[in-house]
Structure 1
Amino acid sequence: MNTATKINLSVMMFLEFLVWGAWFVTMSTYLGKLGFTGGQIGNAYITTAVAAIISPIFVGMIADKFFPAQGLLAILHLVGAALMYWVSTIETPGLFFWVLLAYAICYMPTLALANAIAFNQMTDSEKEFPLIRASGSVGWIVVGLFLGFARIEDTNIPMLIAAGASLVLGVYAFFLPHTPPKGAGKKVTVGDILGVEALRLMKDQYFAIFVIASLLISMTTSFYFGFANIYFNESGMQYTAAVMTGGQFSEAIFIALLAFFFAKLGIKTIITLGMLAWSARYFLMAYGGNDMPLVLLWYLAIIIHGLCFGFFFIAGQVYVEKVAPKAIQAGAQGFIALVTFGIGHALGAKFSGLIVDLFTTEAGRNWTNIWLLPAVMSLVIGILFFLFFKVKPAEIPVEAPEEASAQ
């Protein structure tokens, strides 16, 4: 891949994640200022989880079969720009939810499309893709630093920035390298895309334990993704969005070192530590404060994000690849993504919103109790997972593709 193509793809990834980072982190603070309840804020965060469920269907059944990836990326971002601008003008919970859902359905497929465009230009993806993908993390960090230091987190300006960046990327995408549809002429079902075939893996008790634990931990992660920013802002943290970018720095470091930790600790220990890291994060947030030395607990809760994300989500994907039979590995990855990023986050967004409302009175929100619930929940799940889970190939009969199709 030549230098010009590397630059083009890096700019694409930079803008792709700048768009997401511009509105996603600070939205809870803005909605809180508008007077949205915890449940209504949780509903707003459900939109990306619902879109994550729909996205692989859209990409697999439509994008991969009929349209060049760069053209579809452009159209989705241009439509998304208009929708995000509309979202920025809405102050009523009902309409806000539906328009944001429409936006999320436009945005979430672009993540896969951006990856497809990048991979199509690569000769050695293992070496070339990490650097291209790192540009996305830079985009998220840059916009987070700007929002934090500009002190505009409780306004609609982050959404306007997202809309503007989406418009720029929509136009820019037309000039990206041509990426023709690779699934043209191939028969693909919804079940194939969602990994329904991988449900047979649930017959193996250890894989079933992993899936159930992953679903429950994913529910607890919604507390942080949905309410960390509003919590830190209400509690007096300065430059909150900028400070929270420390999590992305940490994420990049831990993912880069993941192979080293696998060799030293093993997958079971790594995943367990990832689960327990979420518990530790919530305990730190529950008992941290805005003054020294308690503010150090807040900083640690943010920096631990690399451990939370890399050791749980990324290591979980590696585990699935390790134990799933090769005939259904792709389906198994789609299935675990559906469980964690789709169903888990959707249930978690709803659950976290209800808990926030439960501990909200006229005097304000009892954040200590709010954070203690996912802290204890993650702790219990992590301990039970460590006690009952084993890493070994799933013991299920898997039909060869020819045999399965013949039946």
Structure 2
Amino acid sequence: MNLKLRLIILNFLQFFVWGAWMMTLGHYGFVEKQWNGAEFGLVFSTMGFASLIMPTLFGIIADKWQAKYVYAILHLLFGATMCFLPLIDAPMPFFWVLLVAMSFYMPTIGLNNSIGFNVLKNEGKDPTTYFPPIRVWGTVGFIVAMWITNLFTKEWGFGQSIKVSFFIAAIMAFALSLFSFIFLPVVKKEPKSLAARTLVQKLGLEAFVLFKQKKMALFFVFSLMLGAALQLTNAYGDSFLQDADVFPKGGIINNFSTIILSISQISETLFILAIPFFMKRLGIKNVMLLSMLAWVLRFGLFGLAGNTNIGFALIVSSCIIYGMAFDFFNISGALFVEQNTDSSIQSSAQGVFMLMTNGVGAVLGNIIAGFVIAKWFENPITHAKDWPGIWYSFAGYALVVAILFSVLFRYKHNPKEA
């Protein structure tokens, strides 16, 4: 099988198994299981908890052993664990089982990238040129998974419980594990000079010295603050669109909620292409600021969309804005780290950036959001949600972060660096 095709299939399946269930988890917890906001916030934080240490741990194991086998076994274990989730009703047991599943899955994102980079290098190809067109198929996989889940779980489709999404993810994870065992080439191990790195170096702890620099410390703090907002619409978006008190049952928004939300991922692929244009003209700080203001719009448009004749247009607009909100900060932030750290700790510094956004920030954001919703925006008996209040509070938070960032974070734009 052609090498490029193998990597495309790998990326497609890697994100398919994530997209199959993540976007519908909110509706599953709120509607099918009747969990409150605090309980669901804790459940959704499992991805953040798993991102704190597991990717680094299994990265070290993959360095010592063979990456493709670690990758395949992790997906096998992830799929097996997902099969247990539909059997659990209580939120705390569900949290622990999902945390185990995420501890197997989250390391595979980094391993997927490192395997792709190494395979391309072994073939004499530049990953910077060849990998992005391959990686975009991961986003395609995520979108296709959302569409398939929508087909299986809606009354106009197969009308199944949302729990079927866990089985879809498990089946595809098993397929990916088998594909990896059979079709992925053996990846050359890292040179001895790299393998001999200390545990502190492999864990990326030496990069924490960057917190001594005011500029970098501020950047990482704002990464954490914005990271708290990055997954909120993924957590609550589908349950919002499927709430019959907001959007009539059987209507286009209620019936095609997951497909509509997939516009967000489609938007991502388009805004990624626009980043060089904005970076060159506006600079890193202003692009990151645009991202924060886009989050204000993302949440604000959701808040305006309920019980109105233009709700569909507002939801679609919010989904289009998502591409700017999500990608502009993540990619410009990674470039900021690359341009402002010594080459000897750049990989570790990128790890700290991901830790602050997808690890600590995501955990705090989901848990705090859950408690805020349960206390102020949720009926404790019926679990009915004050959706405008929820979305406006999120928008207000993003606006405060944007204002503080514009005032406190100093960075002079150099067009030659963009």
- Normalising by the residue count of structure 1, what TM-score does the alignment of the two structures yield? 0.91
Partner of 2:110: 112
After the TM superposition, which residues 242-261 of structure 1 pair with which residues of structure 2 at under 5 Å, given as runs? 242-261=259-278
Q: Choose from 113, 123, 129 the match for 2:131.
A: 129
Moved more, 7-16 or 217-226: 217-226
Bigger drift between 72-81 and 343-352 goes to: 72-81
Shift >4 Å, 4+ stretches? none
Q: Which runs of 5+ in 2 are unaligned?
A: 248-252, 414-418
Match of 1:211 among 204, 213, 220: 220
1:179 matched to 2:187: yes
Please state how far the C-alpha of 1:389 moved relative to its aligned partner: 1.4
Q: What letter corresponds to residue 279 of structure 1 in structure 2?
A: V
What displacement does 1:368 show?
1.2
| Structure 1 counterpart of 2:19 | 21
Shift of 1:52: 1.0
Q: Match of 1:155, SS?
A: coil
- Contact 1:29-1:154 at 8 Å conserved across structures: no
**Residue 371 of structure 2 corresponds to residue 354 of structure 1:** yes
Residue 334 in structure 1 maps to residue 351 in structure 2: yes
CA contact (8 A) 2:230 2:362 kept: yes
- 2:197 & 2:391 partners in 1: Cα distance? 43
Question: Of residues 327, 344, 348 in structure 1, which corresponds to 2:361?
Answer: 344
Q: CA offset at residue 270 of structure 1?
A: 0.1
1:57 lines up with 2:66 in the alignment: no
Contact kept? 2:59, 2:107, Cα under 8 Å: no
Q: Which segment drifts farther, 291-300 or 227-236? A: 291-300
- Partner of 1:81 in structure 2? 79
On the 8 A contact 1:222/1:352 being kept in 2, the answer is no
Letter in 1 for 2:54: S
1:5 aligned onto 2:3: yes
Residue 369 (1) aligns with residue 389 (2): yes
Match in the other structure for 2:250: none
Write the distance in 2 (CA, Å) between the matches of 1:329 and 1:145.
Answer: 38
- Structure 1 counterpart SS, 2:306: coil
Change (3 A) 1:124 1:12: same
Question: Once the two structures are superposed, what CA deviation does each residue of 1:102-147 show, in whole Å capped at 9, x if it has no partner?
Answer: 1111111111221122112211112210111111111111111122
Moved more, 268-277 or 184-193: 184-193
- 1:195 counterpart residue number: 204
From 202, 221, 229, the counterpart of 2:230: 221
Q: Distance between the aligned counterparts of 2:79 and 2:394, measured in 1?
A: 35
| Long gaps (5+) in structure 1 | 394-407
The answer on 1:274 being equivalent to 2:291 is yes
Say whether residues 1:159 and 2:158 are aligned partners: no
User: For residues 268-319 of structure 1, what are the alpha-carbon distances to aligned partners after superposition, in whole Å with 9 as ceiling and x for unaligned?
Assistant: 1000011111111111111112543233111111111110111111111111
Secondary structure of the equivalent of 1:304?
helix
Q: In structure 1, how many angstroms separate the alpha carbons of the residues matched to 2:126 and 2:151? A: 39
Asked whether the 8 Å contact 2:82–2:166 carries over to 1, the reply is yes
Task: Name which of structure 1's ranges 71-80 and 52-61 shifts more when overlaid on structure 2.
Answer: 52-61
The one-letter amino acid paired with 1:281 is: R
| Distance apart, 1:37 and its partner CA | 1.4
- For residues 322 and 178 of structure 1, what CA distance do their matches in structure 2 show? 33
Q: Which amino acid aligns with 2:410?
A: K
**Counterparts of 1:193 and 1:349, CA distance in 2:** 28
C-alpha spacing 1:203/1:46, structure 2 compared with 1 (3 Å):
same
**Contact between 1:148 and 1:243, CA under 8 Å: does it hold in 2?**
no
- Post-superposition Cα deviations, 1:67-104, rounded to whole Å, max 9, x if no partner, equal 21111111111111110011122112121111111111
Asked whether the 8 Å contact 2:55–2:108 carries over to 1, the reply is no
What CA RMSD, in Å, does the superposition of the two structures yield over aligned residues?
1.9
1:284 aligns with 2:292: no
Q: SS at 1:365's partner residue?
A: coil
Aligned to 2:230, the other structure's residue is in SS state helix
1:202 CA displacement: 2.0
Opposite residue 211 of structure 2, the aligned amino acid is M
Task: Provide the C-alpha distance between the structure 1 equivalents of 2:179 and 2:48, rounded to a whole number of angstroms.
Answer: 27
Q: Which moved more, 1:281-290 or 1:94-103?
A: 281-290
- Distance in 1 of aligned mates of 2:41 and 2:197: 34
TM-score (norm 2): 0.89
CA displacement 1:326-376 (0-9 Å, x = unmatched): 222122111111111100001111011111211111461111111122211
TM-fit CA distance, 1:153: 8.1
Report if aligned partners of 1:55, 1:108 keep a CA contact under 8 Å in 2: yes
Q: Which letter maps to 1:386?
A: S
Structure 1 Cα separation of the partners of residues 111 and 191 of structure 2: 13
| Cα separation, 2, equivalents of 1:294 and 1:36 | 27
Kept after mapping to 1: 8 A contact 2:75/2:176? yes
SS of structure 1 residue aligned to 2:89: coil
- In the superposition, relative to structure 1, how do residues 320 and 258 fare at CA in structure 2: closer, same or farther (>3 Å)? same
Residue 143 of structure 1 is matched in structure 2 by 145
What SS does the aligned partner of 1:390 have? coil
* Deviation of 1:196 (Å): 2.4
1:305 correspondence with 2:334: no
Matched letter for residue 304 of structure 1: I
2:400 to 380, 385, 389: 380
Q: How far off its partner does 1:184 sit?
A: 6.1
